[in-house]
Amino acid sequence: MPIQFFPESKVFKLDTKTTSYVMQVGQYDYLLHLYYGALIPDAELGYLAYTCGHGAHFPCVEMSNAEIPYFSKSLHRMEYSCNGCGDFRPSALSILRSTGTADTDIQYVSHKIYAGKPKIAGQPATYATEDEATTLEVLCKDHVSGAEVTLFYTVFEIYGAMTRHASVRNASDKAMDLKSVLSTCVDFHDATDMDFIHLYGSACKERLFERAPLIHGTQSVFSKRGYSSHIHNPFIALCSHDATEESGDAYGFNLVYTGNFLASADMDSDGGGRVLMGINPEGFSWHLEPGESFTSPEAVMVYSNEGLGGMSRIFHRLYRNNLCRGAWKNKKRPILINNWEATYFKFDEEKLYDIAKAASQLGIEMLVMDDGWFGTRNSSRSALGDWFVNEEKLKGGLGKLVERVNGLGMKFGIWFEPEMVSRDSDLFRAHPEWALQTPGRPMSISRHQYTLDMSRADVRDYLFDCIKKVMDSANIAYIKWDFNRTLTEVGSALLGPDKQQEVFHRYVLGLYELLERLLTAYPELLLEGCASGGGRFDPAWLYYSPQFWASDDTDAIERLDIQYGTSMCYPTSTVGAHVSAVPNHQVGRTTPLKTRGDVAMAGTFGYELDLTVLTDEEKEIVKAQCADYHKYYDVIHYGDLYRLISPWKDRTRCAWMYVSEDKSEAHVTYVVIRKRVHERHFVRLAGLDPSKRYLNEQTGQVLSGKTWMNAGMCVQGGPNDFTSFTFHLVAVD
């Protein structure tokens, strides 16, 4: 059984095929954390039980029975920490009682174990059949405030992954306010040998990898920008100091939420550790009247003793199979051409048709019309919110253009930025109250636009009706959903003063409702997320869109860092990556078309350039890239990723590979970042079957998997910086 309860010891044991997670109903019915790590046998669980010595400065539970040992919440490893009753470390739960105090204390009441996984109403989450997962619900109660807290644990046995979230119900006869309800809390007995990993950045350089030793005190990443953001991703990992890509302990934590979040790792004075993750408590409060409930978003937890690569591959398998969903979950995505970097706002029907015609002759399968097709939109200064076709640009309307593009054998996609409104727009002039704002304070402007209040049903109804009219007017197969500014002055004209601290979360819930409504109406729609590039690249979005634009920086060398960091927990099949023009529009660098294609192939693949100006030689390269996309699609999108050489290690080269599940083929990519004199490298491969022999289709060499992995593949350096090589290996016996 993946989840067991042992009544004699009151121990819960949650097992995947590779991990164990153990907790116990301890003294005074407090839920204690005992272990999280590699699989351990049931018969030895008694070894994990412990008691803590007395400390004069550590408050203890008042003992009514002298035979019960001393118990202090500040010394024990708590399963779900609470604020104000003796645990002085960072806490997961804090409830403001009707008395005005925020002392919170929960104790075990009951539990149930069942096959499958419950949905989280109104929120994205991983999903599972009864055969794929097992769930434990633990009911706890604060007997003073009357709050009932249910802790949910779901075990995905075949992956080595778990998910957690919490639900709080006001079972009292008085109102209460939730000040913090985090999704997961994990205590570690010894964190002194751990490193802290996170993905930081900014617009055009998202999800850069950073690793540093865990120190005494708290290290945290967070967002209070209204979305998960470019600055920090809702992912952290703890790993042993000696962990590499393929060995050592690695714990990964990822929040399925696209709003304000907090992820922290704390090491206290005795070396114990605590990881917390959930909605950022800053700027958050949720009012509960008697009988009302609140449910946190889901956190995903992964442990691997096969290093960071092993951790990543668990995330990838789980997200591909049990987070992404819909018609495009396992369907080959079309190669697309987006007109943005080719035309920006300066296009008309004939220019778009010319691009589509050129694309159709090269093997590209879809034209995406980006910003500038609606209202009076000729720059970023106007018309967001006025979602009707500009027929001065598209004479005869959208339907005519789409029919012409479809006539070339190509699909058609379109760009929207539904959550925003331009100050210069018909919508804002008619409904200024629909924008987020607070009484008496000027509204901040960013990119000449405001943010619509997505917590309002009338706003969501308007947006859905606008999108529906456009969708029904033509054969549209794809939407790129953009989001280009942070949230400020976050208040809603519809809510009273006691609800304004709920607006951040209500905004996110409203967004989810609109996305679900859109996908229900158009189940065959391919939706791609975007937020000034990769500012919303989080698991919540992958529940609605199976791919997300990784960054507005399309330079192939910059993308090495961005895509490498993204791969820490997000699968290749979700990473929006395109070939763009040179000199690159963001950094001015010129790189070979082959290199741009090889790097973009580690993603959904497409183009961001003017195909009508390519030379004959460049057209042949594009044709070959499109053919390779189809040839290697399965191994790249469904295979296991092995990061061979990181781009940030010595800044001279980068390499990665994909291996099919049955080990029958592999695809290797190697990029020279900075050439050195007389350079020759042996790159040790990974993930192959050591007993199989593999043919390198590019060189004709046949070697055993053991030799490819232990001795490595010899790569002679290219003639220039930014040269790339690809090698495809197939098993021959």
Q: Please give the pLDDT value at position 70.
A: 65
Q: Which helix (H) or strand (E) holds 265?
A: strand 261-267
Residue 337 has pLDDT above 60, yes or no: yes
CA atoms lying within 13 Å on the CB side of residue 608: 25
**pLDDT digits 0-9 by tens, 680-718:** 788 999 999 999 999 999 999 999 999 999 999 998 767
Mean model confidence pLDDT for the chain: 95
Distance CA 319, CA 237 (A): 17
Give 66's pLDDT tier (boundaries 50, 70, 90): low
Nearest to 93 by CA among 230, 276, 246: 276
Evaluate whether 240 touches 194 at the Cβ level (below 8 Å): yes
Evaluate whether 537 touches 207 at the Cβ level (below 8 Å): yes
Q: Please give the pLDDT value at position 274.
A: 96
**pLDDT digits 0-9 by tens, 184-213:** 999 999 999 999 999 999 999 999 999 999
The rounded radius of gyration (Å) of the Cα atoms in the chain is 27
Residue 490 has pLDDT above 60, yes or no: yes
CA angle 404, 406, 411 (to 5 degrees): 130
**Average pLDDT estimate for 18-42:** 93
The question of whether 270 is a catalytic residue gets the answer no
Residue 650 has pLDDT above 90, yes or no: no
Residue 72 has pLDDT above 90, yes or no: no
Q: Please give the pLDDT value at position 462.
A: 98
Cis peptide leading into residue 7 (ω within 30°): no
Per cent of the chain over pLDDT 90 is 90
Residue 124 has pLDDT above 80, yes or no: yes
Q: Which helix (H) or strand (E) holds 548?
A: strand 547-549
Evaluate whether 258 touches 529 at the Cβ level (below 8 Å): no
Within a 10 A sphere around the Cβ of 43, how many other Cβ atoms?
Answer: 7
Evaluate whether 236 touches 197 at the Cβ level (below 8 Å): yes
Residue 67 has pLDDT above 60, yes or no: no
Alpha-helical segments (H) within 34-136: none
**pLDDT digits 0-9 by tens, 557-609:** 999 999 999 999 999 999 999 999 999 999 999 999 999 999 999 999 999 99
Give burial (CB, 10 Å; 0-12/13-18/19+) of 224. Answer: middle
Backbone angles phi, psi at 317, to 5 degrees: -65, -45
Q: DSSP string of 112-179? A: EEEES----TTS------TTT-EEEEEEEE-TTT-EEEEEEEEEETTTTEEEEEEEEEE-SSS-EEEE
**pLDDT digits 0-9 by tens, 341-385:** 999 999 999 999 999 999 999 999 999 999 999 999 999 999 999
The question of whether 482 is a catalytic residue gets the answer yes
Evaluate whether 394 touches 348 at the Cβ level (below 8 Å): yes
Residues comprising the chain, all counted: 733
How far lies 587's CA from each of 398, 534, 581, 600, in Å?
34, 17, 11, 17
Nearest to 371 by CA among 411, 414, 334, 409: 414
What domains does the chain contain, in order, with CATH numbers?
A: 3-322 (2.70.98.60), 644-731 (2.60.40.1180)
Distance CA 683, CA 644 (A): 7
Q: Taking the model in full, what pTM does it have? A: 0.96
CA atoms lying within 13 Å on the CB side of residue 458: 8
Give me the catalytic one of 552, 553, 555, 640: 552
Q: Please give the pLDDT value at position 677.
A: 76
Distance CA 96, CA 286 (A): 10
How far lies 181's CA from each of 83, 141, 259, 634, 637, in Å?
11, 14, 14, 40, 36
Distance CA 88, CA 70 (A): 17
Q: Please give the pLDDT value at position 680.
A: 74
3-state secondary structure 207-252: EEEEEEECCCEEEEEEECCCCCCCCEEEEEEEEECCCCCCCECEEE
Min mean pLDDT across 27-36, 54-63, 464-473, 497-506 is at 54-63
Nearest to 255 by CA among 337, 304, 323: 323
Distance CA 364, CA 409 (A): 10
Residue 438 has pLDDT above 60, yes or no: yes
Q: Please give the pLDDT value at position 51.
A: 60
Distance CA 504, CA 490 (A): 7
Residue 63 has pLDDT above 70, yes or no: no
